[in-house]
């Protein structure tokens, strides 16, 4: 009985079987086959009694070495197989990363809100706060306190919707100027966004209900050049720094001097196109130095205080900025429109 020969055969078989192995679970079988309690190595040990005593240490040593070797082989192959298995799993788990993601369904802000957020940020950055006022106004706040007496042609500038003899729907956000001056002491620095109402038929460029943003600054030493600088900043922030801007004399009963503000046309840049009626300019807001009569009526001494005010068509800003050609679109709330912003 040549146990050494047996060991050699075991070694050869084990090496071959282990390296050819490709399933991890078979590895355990081989471990049992070679190293188990009834395994082939153990069987060699079991037969030790039957060989020459002087051979025993030799065979014993060889068997132990082989046992160790097979253990190592098993471990090596286990690692190999585990790696292969992991790799196979990763390959199997491949996904098509070009499939669309699971998008959270966030709601959209209306474009008027997008604009006002932008404007509010600019103005709060300059120290302005946001003022509000009622949409139903009295004659006093909408007209008289703004230096628009009854029976003055300036009343023709705005077609008013009345509720009764006392109350009307504010035709502009300017009454907020008066409320603010009555409630606060200078310095005043506010913008007042809100809904306004006019007796205008609904068409592509008019709406009986629309939005304005009023601005008012009152303090000592407020100048017309401050007005210009403030408006320039907001125009540049909204329409870009390359926009040209011009101020031209105009008339609002509650400001003096009064100025209309134009920006170079956002479509043609000043060449003249249908948007700007070939003038190259777009009218974007009215402004001026607060009229002394208005200051006086609100209890401010015009010899001490001065201020400027402006009023912007909020809808118009949105139309211009986003290239919308019909104001009605803003109030139709078509989902496909809302989802463009």
Partner 1 sequence: MQVAYHWLKEYLDFSYTPAELAEKMTMAGLEVEGIEYLGEGINEIVIGEIVKIEEHQDADKLVICQVKIDDESELLQIVTGAPNVVEGERVPIAKVGTTLPGGMKIKKAKLRGVNSFGMMCSTDELGLSEERAHGIMLLGKEAPVGRKLTEYLGLDEYVLKLDLTPNYARCLGMLGVAREIKSLYTGGKVNYPEVNLEEDKNEAAVDEQAAIEIKADDLCPRYTGRLIKNIKVGPSPKWMQQRLRAAGIRPINNIVDITNYVLMEYNQPLHAFDYDKLNESKIIVRRAVAGEKIVTLDEKTRELTEEMLVIADAKEPVAVAGVMGGANSEVTDDTVNIFLESAYFNPVSIRKTARQLGLPSEASHRFERGVDIGMLKEASDRACQLMVKYADGELVPGIIDEYPGKQAKMVIKLDPARVNELLGLDLSTNKIAEMLASLDFEINKSGNLLEVAVPTFRGDVTQSADLVEEVARVYGYNNIPTTRPISKQLGSKNKKQKFEDLVHFLMRSAGLDQVITYSLQDKKIYQGLKLSQGHRLLEHVELKNPLSAAFGIMRTSLLPGIIDVLASNARRQIENMHVFEMGKIFFANQGQRPTEINMLSGGTFGAGEDLWQTDAPNFFFLKGALEMLFTRLQIPDVQFKAITDEPYFHPGRAAKIVYKGQYLGQIGELLPAIIDDKDLQSGTTVFELNLDKVRKFAPEVNYKYEKLPHFPAVSRDLAVVIKNNIPVADIFALIEDVAGELLKELQIFDIYQGDQIRSGFKSVAFKLKFQSPTKTLEDKEVNKVFKKIISQLSEKFSAEVRGN
Binders of partner 1 in range 150-189 (CB under 8 A): 151-154, 156-157, 161-164, 166-167, 169, 187, 189
CB-CB contact of 154 with 148 (8 Å):
yes
106 is an interface residue for partner 1 by CB under 8 A: yes
Cα distances from 334 to residues 300, 315, 337, in angstroms, run 47, 17, 5
CA distance 304 to 309: 17
- Binder among 24, 48, 144, 209 for partner 1 (CB under 8 A): 209
Cβ nearer to partner 1, comparing 15 with 117: 117
139 is an interface residue for partner 1 by CB under 8 A: no
205 is an interface residue for partner 1 by CB under 8 A: no
Collapsed DSSP state (helix, strand, coil) of residue 66: helix
Chain centroid offset of residue 77 CA? 54
Q: In DSSP terms, which residues pair with 137 in a beta bridge?
A: 168
Of 29-37, 82-90, 172-180, 191-199, the segment contacting partner 1 by CB under 8 A is 191-199
Query: Angle formed by the axes of helices 224-239 and 111-125, to 10°?
Result: 140
Residue where the block lists tokens 């253990």: 71
Of 9-17, 21-29, 79-87, 122-130, the segment contacting partner 1 by CB under 8 A is 122-130
Q: How far is the CB of 320 from partner 1 (least distance, A)?
A: 18
CA distance 209 to 199: 9
Which residue from 34, 300, 101, 97 is spatially nearest to 185, judged by alpha carbons?
Answer: 300
Of 26-34, 75-83, 173-181, 200-208, the segment contacting partner 1 by CB under 8 A is 200-208
CA distance 33 to 274: 93
Phi, psi (deg, nearest 5) at residue 225: -70, -30
CA distance 96 to 174: 59
85 is an interface residue for partner 1 by CB under 8 A: no
Q: How far is the CB of 97 from partner 1 (least distance, A)?
A: 25
101 is an interface residue for partner 1 by CB under 8 A: no
CA distance 46 to 184: 107
- Binder among 11, 40, 214, 260 for partner 1 (CB under 8 A): 260
Of 32-40, 63-71, 90-98, 148-156, the segment contacting partner 1 by CB under 8 A is 148-156
Give me 321's structure tokens: 């900025």
CB-CB contact of 188 with 220 (8 Å):
no
321 is an interface residue for partner 1 by CB under 8 A: no
292 is an interface residue for partner 1 by CB under 8 A: yes
Q: How far is the CB of 142 from partner 1 (least distance, A)?
A: 13
Cβ nearer to partner 1, comparing 53 with 104: 104
Q: How many residues bind partner 1 (CB under 8 A)?
A: 87
Residues 43-72, interacting with partner 1 (CB under 8 A) = none
130 is an interface residue for partner 1 by CB under 8 A: yes
């Amino acid at each position: 009985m040549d146990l050494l020969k047996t060991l050699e055969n075991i070694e050869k078989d084990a090496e071959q079987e282990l390296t050819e192995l490709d399933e991890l679970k078979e590895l355990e079988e081989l471990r049992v086959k070679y190293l188990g309690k009834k395994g082939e190595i153990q069987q060699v040990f079991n037969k030790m009694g039957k060989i020459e005593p002087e051979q025993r240490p030799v065979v014993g040593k060889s068997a132990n070495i082989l046992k160790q070797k097979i253990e190592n082989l098993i471990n090596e192959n286990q690692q190999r197989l585990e790696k292969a298995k992991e790799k196979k799993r990763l390959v199997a788990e491949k996904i098509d990363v070009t499939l669309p993601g699971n998008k959270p369904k966030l709601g959209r802000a209306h474009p008027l809100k997008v604009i006002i957020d932008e404007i509010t940020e600019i103005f709060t950055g300059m120290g302005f706060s946001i003022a509000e006022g009622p949409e139903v106004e009295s004659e006093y706040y909408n007209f008289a306190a703004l230096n628009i007496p009854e029976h003055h042609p300036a009343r023709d500038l705005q077609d008013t919707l009345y509720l009764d003899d006392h109350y009307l729907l504010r035709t502009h956000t300017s009454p907020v100027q008066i409320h603010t001056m009555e409630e606060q002491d200078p310095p005043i620095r506010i913008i007042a966004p809100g809904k306004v109402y006019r007796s205008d038929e609904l068409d592509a460029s008019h709406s009986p209900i629309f939005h304005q943003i009023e601005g008012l600054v009152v303090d000592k030493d407020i100048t017309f050049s401050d007005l210009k600088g403030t408006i320039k900043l907001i125009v540049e922030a909204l329409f870009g720094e390359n926009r040209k801007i011009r101020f031209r004399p105009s008339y609002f009963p509650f400001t003096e001097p009064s100025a209309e503000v134009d920006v170079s046309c956002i479509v043609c840049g000043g060449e003249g196109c249908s948007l700007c009626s070939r003038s190259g300019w777009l009218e974007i807001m009215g402004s001026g130095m607060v009229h002394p009569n208005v200051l006086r009526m609100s209890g401010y001494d015009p010899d001490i205080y001065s201020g400027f005010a402006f009023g912007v068509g909020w809808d118009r800003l949105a139309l211009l900025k986003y290239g919308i050609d019909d104001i009605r679109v803003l109030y139709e709330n078509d989902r496909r429109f809302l989802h463009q912003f």
